Amino acid sequence: MEMEMQHRVMGYDRAATMFSPDGRILQVEYAEKTVRLGSASVGLVCSDGIMIISDKRLGDPLVLPEAILKIWEIDEHIIATAAGVLSDARVLLEHSQVIAQQHRVTYDQPIDTESVIKDVANIQQSATQYAGARPFGIAVMIAGINRDNAKKLYVSDVTGNYLGFKASVIGENDDRIKELLQKGYKESLSVDQGIKFTLNIFKKVLGKGFNIERFETVFVKTDDKKAKRLHGAALSKYVR
């Protein structure tokens, strides 16, 4: 903490292009803290498809739950979510939707999942390298099913790095949720079982704050490769 205060006094946190003497980019670290303040999302690779569940964290009873979009459809076979500053995410993921459609028009075939996350990660990385820009305050999770039926789940961080996962979480309480994922996740889980498993994790983590109206899920199954969305009361059957 003393070293961090010294760095602030010296001004090493004033630009994303400035390294501190111990090799840190403080603006990037601040953005990573923003990600962990965002509402959580969990993604799973299941035996029959992929799925993402997001907590929309409704704070105002006057807001329509369906008006809050936390999971985007990049294409009919690829879905995405983010944690952090969701307006940052909207810009990146709407760009990804355009890239996916351009790929269909140009090559007459759907884009693969890694191409989407790589494009997003490249833009995130560029925002950490050029003066006058601030880092995107988001982590992005993208899941999809490729033409060869390969089920993919990727997460990119503020720095522009991305990794593939069988199951992952972004946002608040990520350490606790990751611990429960490691204990209970199995590759044999179906999408329906995965939804139930993930909602039970949220139930344990949130305790009395758990409310099914806070959640939405989008999943894609290998048999039709079409994204389907469930939210609110439609998820009640998975938490009985």
pLDDT for residue 65: 74
pLDDT band at 22 (very low <50, low <70, confident <90, very high): confident
pLDDT for residue 6: 54
Instruction: Compare 161 and 59 and report the one with higher pLDDT.
Output: 161
Question: Is the overall model pTM greater than 0.85, yes or no?
Answer: yes
Per cent of the chain over pLDDT 90 is 73
Query: Which DSSP string do the residues of 188-225 spell out, in sequence order?
Result: T--HHHHHHHHHHHHHHHHGGG--GGGEEEEEEETTT-
Bridge partners of 42, per DSSP, are: 53, 169
CA distances from 108 to 97, 100, 147 (A): 16, 11, 12
pLDDT reading at 9 higher than 60: no
List phi, psi (to 5°) of 227: -70, 135
Report all structural domains of the chain as residue ranges with CATH numbers, in order of start. Answer: 39-239 (3.60.20.10)
Tens digits of residue pLDDT in 44-65:
999 999 999 999 987 777 887 7
Cα 184 off chain centre by: 20
pLDDT for residue 24: 82
Tens digits of residue pLDDT in 77-116:
999 999 999 999 999 999 999 999 999 999 999 999 999 9
Mean pLDDT in residue range 208-225: 93
